[in-house]
């Protein structure tokens, strides 16, 4: 794979940071089961400053946090401490107070009722509990605009104390479910989520530049978030995720690097084995990567808050399912990504994939809103295509 693939990916990284509608900087790491197959970066950490983007640049990874918290839930289930199908209020009592929003009265007040069934942790991990995000859902955006519902970016308890859009288990809706799964972890372990994650995952995988709260060393290597303007230009944002958060946000809150996240991907490629022992049993991995939605499919994410997200959908027109806690493409993708691979993303154009059949996975790290920026996501898909074009038939990395 090495020569042509390396040249192709290097060219893509240069193009997306210096060609039409450029992004400020990008880091990409491709890993196989035995180690890194490619690592590269282009552009700068922060526009207006000289520090180059590197594979050890620290970035806010937003929703790619979710898969790590899901992994800790799976560990606790393995240990018999967490029943994925028991009412989750057993571990996070506040979930027992959540109601379903049936609509708005003429005066704008909320029409609420109790849910028909309890939320389970499995529903949280599959995004079928009924929670949403204001930047992907018009009803939640109305809660924010008319009822003062705080954004999840505030990392407050109030930001996740929201009504359900439907009875638990009835359909798929992407939202703050994994923030609640983090609260389940805290209820089971008696630890802050940051402590449980460090002890169970970040430490054993030697992810030394990943945390909810930035260390001085991490801050010295940090890239700033940026915003694509209406005219196509890009400006830095004075936005850092809360560093004394009321809630460790299991859905959005981690900082990490491309190098670190590749270690997490490699564990999934190795059926749950890490460099210092097993993270998950192979049987747990097999259960987790299977479609958990039955006949339900995931849907396009509408960009309700334009500065945060465009309309977003991987491989439009292709059926896609959900595992714990990843997207599954049900068919082979046009990039070469085989059916049944694991994929997801984070709002500032952060994307990853895990292809267990070929033993390869990649992490693409950008720090710019809105999500699904054509240059940001287009570059990721081009890199994925370049990887599979260079992969000989039947070969693994």
Catalytic residue ranges: 63, 66, 174
The Cα 76–Cα 86 span in angstroms is: 13
The Cα 75–Cα 79 span in angstroms is: 6
Q: List C-alpha distances in Å: 381 to 65, 189, 255, 259, 364.
A: 21, 39, 23, 19, 10
- The answer to whether residues 226 and 47 touch, using CB atoms and an 8 Å cutoff, is yes
- The answer to whether residues 305 and 141 touch, using CB atoms and an 8 Å cutoff, is yes
The Cα 56–Cα 250 span in angstroms is: 22
* Beta strand segments in 184-256, E: 226-228, 234-236, 255-256
Bridge partners of 328, per DSSP, are 321, 342
- The answer to whether residues 42 and 219 touch, using CB atoms and an 8 Å cutoff, is no
Closest CA to 386 of 38, 5, 16: 5
Could you tell me where the DSSP H helices lie in 82-238? 121-126, 138-147, 157-160, 177-189, 193-197, 216-220
The Cα 275–Cα 261 span in angstroms is: 14
Bridge partners of 342, per DSSP, are 328, 354
Q: What would the two tokens of residue 304 be?
A: 């309700």
Q: What would the two tokens of residue 32 be?
A: 């196989």
The Cα 228–Cα 108 span in angstroms is: 34
The Cα 123–Cα 128 span in angstroms is: 5
Could you tell me where the DSSP H helices lie in the chain? 2-18, 66-78, 121-126, 138-147, 157-160, 177-189, 193-197, 216-220, 258-269, 282-288, 374-390
Query: 């954004």: which residue's tokens?
Result: 151
CA angle 7-8-14, nearest 5°? 90
Strand 368-369 to 226-228 pairing: parallel
């Amino acid at each position: 794979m090495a020569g042509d693939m390396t040249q192709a990916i290097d060219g893509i990284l240069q193009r997306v940071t210096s060609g039409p509608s450029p992004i400020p900087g990008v880091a990409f790491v491709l890993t196989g089961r035995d180690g890194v197959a490619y690592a590269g970066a282009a552009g700068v950490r922060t526009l207006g400053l000289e520090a180059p983007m590197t594979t050890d640049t620290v970035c806010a990874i937003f929703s790619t946090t979710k898969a790590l918290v899901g992994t800790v839930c799976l560990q606790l289930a393995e240990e018999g401490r967490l029943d994925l199908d028991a009412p989750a209020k057993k571990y996070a009592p506040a979930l027992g107070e959540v109601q379903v929003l049936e609509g708005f009265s003429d005066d704008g007040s909320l029409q609420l009722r109790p849910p028909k069934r309890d939320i389970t942790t499995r529903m949280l991990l599959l995004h079928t509990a009924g929670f949403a995000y204001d930047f992907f859902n018009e009803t939640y955006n109305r809660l924010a605009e008319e009822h003062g519902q705080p954004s999840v970016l505030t990392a407050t308890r109030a930001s996740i104390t929201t009504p359900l859009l439907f009875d638990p288990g009835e359909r798929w809706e992407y939202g703050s479910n994994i923030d609640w799964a983090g609260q389940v972890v805290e209820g089971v372990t008696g630890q802050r989520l940051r402590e449980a994650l460090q002890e169970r995952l970040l430490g054993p995988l030697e992810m030394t530049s990943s945390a909810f709260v930035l260390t001085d060393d991490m801050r010295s290597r940090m890239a700033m978030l940026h915003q694509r303007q209406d005219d196509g230009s890009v400006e830095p944002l004075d936005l850092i995720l809360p560093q004394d958060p009321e809630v460790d946000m299991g859905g959005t809150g981690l900082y990490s690097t491309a190098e670190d996240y590749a270690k997490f991907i490699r564990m999934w490629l190795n059926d749950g084995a890490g460099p210092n022992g097993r993270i998950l049993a192979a049987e747990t991995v097999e259960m987790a990567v299977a479609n958990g939605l039955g006949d339900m499919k995931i849907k396009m994410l509408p960009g309700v808050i334009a500065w945060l997200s465009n309309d977003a959908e991987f491989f439009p027109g292709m059926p896609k399912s959900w595992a714990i806690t990843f997207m599954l493409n049900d068919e082979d993708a046009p990039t070469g990504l085989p059916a049944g691979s694991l994929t997801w993303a984070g709002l500032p154009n952060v994307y990853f994939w895990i292809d267990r059949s070929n033993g390869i996975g990649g992490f693409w790290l950008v720090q710019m809103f809105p999500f699904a920026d054509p240059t940001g996501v287009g570059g990721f898909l081009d890199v994925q295509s370049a990887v599979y074009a260079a992969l000989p038939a039947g070969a693994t990395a």
